[in-house]
């Protein structure tokens, strides 16, 4: 049997299961030639706001044990410049585009999503709910569940393409929030967003990023991400989940598929190895062949739990 890499997320198809995660692949027109875009399953864009955003002051990055802490502040050219300058480059590379939608208000999310959802090449939207809410003095939208589902629902109602809600792992009720997103109209979930984290420089008595609390990514957060994918996957077995968090090898990606992901995204690993997605896809194919599976979809949720309880809550 010759396995294939296509994945089908309830009708949304990607040529292979490894996409680039939001914020880890320049903007579009400026993707360096080192990254073979065509061999990505899809590109999730930088989170786009309506107008351009300059982001926060530097330093914006700090290496932490097995991780990367960043505090970029959603620097992006704004949705209109993205459509003019970046989307054409991504379309030329023939890579499916998942546009990440952000905003400081419900209205901004709606405006950004409206500008994107009908554009050729955009196959789905991903709603970033970590963006600071103007109404709540910069508190992220995800802090209040009703605010979170309000923006996800507003984007889902208008969009003609599937909408994914990207959730951080440390919500009090992750599974309940995921269910609420689906009730509000989300087609699927992306798990997980960066984890709020802090790095301190004891010699200079200051934080290592200019905006004190940043977001942690990389292998350090992989177990958190796997738990989130597993719990949501068990509770909502028919809802597509994209797994993201610390994936750097084919084995990592396979772990996510086994835990319940329908596809995966790589972020931090691309910053280290710009062709990591090619190696991961090859590795998945080798694994499928070795184990006698026909497609990545056959791995979904197959992880067995030695103990009888399924650990989900």
Partner 1 sequence: MRRVRAEVLNAKRVGAYHSITIVAPEVAERVRPGQFVSVAMPQGRTFLLRRHFSIHQASRRGGWAGTLEFVFDPRGGRGSSWLAEVKAHQFLDVIGPLGKAFAYPAKLSTCLLVAEGHGSAPMHFLGQELRAHGKRVDMLVGAETQELVFKPIEGKRLAQTIVIATEDGSLGETGSVADLLTQVVEATGAQVIYAAAGRRTLRRISEFCSERQIPSQVAVEEEMACGFGLCFTCTVPVIRKDGSGYDNLRACIDGPVFNPARILWDRWMGEQPGMIATPPEGFPVVKTWPG
Using CB under 8 A, list all residues that contact partner 1: 23-26, 30-35, 46, 54-55, 57-63, 65-68, 70, 72, 75, 210, 218-219, 268, 270-275
* SS3 state at 19: strand
Helix, strand, coil fractions of the chain, as percent rounded to 5:
35, 20, 45
Query: Mind spelling out the 3-state secondary structure of 86-121?
Result: HHHHHHHCCCCEEEEECCCCHHHHHHHHHHHCCCCC
- Least distance between partner 1 and beta carbon 47 (Å): 11
- Least distance between partner 1 and beta carbon 59 (Å): 4
Q: Comparing C-alpha atoms, which of 297, 266, 309 is closest to residue 25?
A: 266
- Least distance between partner 1 and beta carbon 222 (Å): 12
- Least distance between partner 1 and beta carbon 202 (Å): 14
Task: Report the alpha-carbon distance of residue 44 to residue 25 in Å, rounded.
Answer: 8
For partner 1, which is the closer residue by CB, 72 or 253? Answer: 72
For partner 1, which is the closer residue by CB, 163 or 224? Answer: 224
For partner 1, which is the closer residue by CB, 25 or 192? Answer: 25
**Dihedral angle computed from the Cα positions of residues 15, 17, 21 and 25, in that order, rounded to the nearest 10 degrees:** -40
**CB of 189 closer than 8 Å to CB of 128:** no
Cα angle 152, 177, 158 (rounded to 5 degrees) comes to 15
For partner 1, which is the closer residue by CB, 218 or 240? Answer: 218
- Least distance between partner 1 and beta carbon 292 (Å): 29
Strand order in 214-217's β-sheet?
61-64, 67-70, 214-217, 195-197
Q: Comparing C-alpha atoms, which of 194, 223, 201, 169 is closest to residue 71?
A: 194
For partner 1, which is the closer residue by CB, 32 or 172? Answer: 32
For partner 1, which is the closer residue by CB, 211 or 295? Answer: 211
> Which two structure tokens, joined as six digits, stand for 81?
């410049």
- Least distance between partner 1 and beta carbon 72 (Å): 5
- Least distance between partner 1 and beta carbon 66 (Å): 5
For partner 1, which is the closer residue by CB, 24 or 87? Answer: 24
Q: Which residues of 204-237 are buried (b: 16+ CB within 10 A; e: fewer)?
A: eeebbbebeebbbbbbbbbebbbbbbbbbbbbbe
């Amino acid at each position: 049997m010759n396995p294939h890499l296509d994945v089908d997320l309830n009708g949304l198809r990607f040529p292979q299961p490894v996409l680039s995660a939001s914020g880890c692949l320049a903007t579009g027109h400026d993707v360096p030639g080192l990254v073979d875009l065509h061999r990505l399953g899809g590109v999730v864009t930088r989170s786009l706001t309506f107008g351009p955003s300059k982001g926060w002051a530097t330093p914006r990055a700090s290496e932490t044990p097995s991780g990367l802490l960043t505090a970029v502040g959603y620097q992006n050219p704004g949705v209109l410049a993205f459509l003019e300058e970046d989307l054409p480059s991504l379309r030329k590379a023939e890579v499916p585009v998942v546009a990440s939608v952000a905003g400081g208000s419900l209205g901004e999310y709606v405006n950004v999503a409206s500008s994107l959802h009908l554009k050729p090449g955009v196959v789905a939207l991903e709603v970033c709910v970590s963006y600071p809410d103007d109404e709540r003095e910069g508190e992220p939208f995800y802090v209040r569940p009703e605010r979170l589902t309000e923006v996800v629902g507003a984007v889902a109602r208008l969009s003609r393409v599937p909408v994914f809600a990207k959730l951080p792992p440390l919500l009090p009720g992750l599974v309940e929030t995921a269910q609420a997103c689906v009730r509000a109209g989300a087609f699927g979930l992306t798990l997980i967003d960066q984890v709020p984290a802090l790095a301190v420089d004891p010699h200079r008595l200051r934080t290592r990023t200019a905006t004190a609390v940043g977001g942690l990514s990389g292998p350090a957060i992989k177990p958190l991400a796997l738990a989130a994918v597993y719990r949501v996957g068990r509770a909502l077995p028919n809802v597509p989940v994209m797994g993201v968090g610390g994936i750097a090898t084919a084995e990592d990606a396979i772990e996510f598929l086994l835990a319940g992901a329908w596809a995966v995204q790589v972020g931090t690993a691309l910053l280290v190895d710009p062709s990591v997605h090619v190696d991961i896809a090859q590795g998945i194919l080798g694994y499928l062949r070795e184990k006698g599976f026909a497609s990545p979809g056959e791995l979904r949720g197959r992880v067995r739990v030695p103990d009888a309880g399924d650990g989900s809550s």
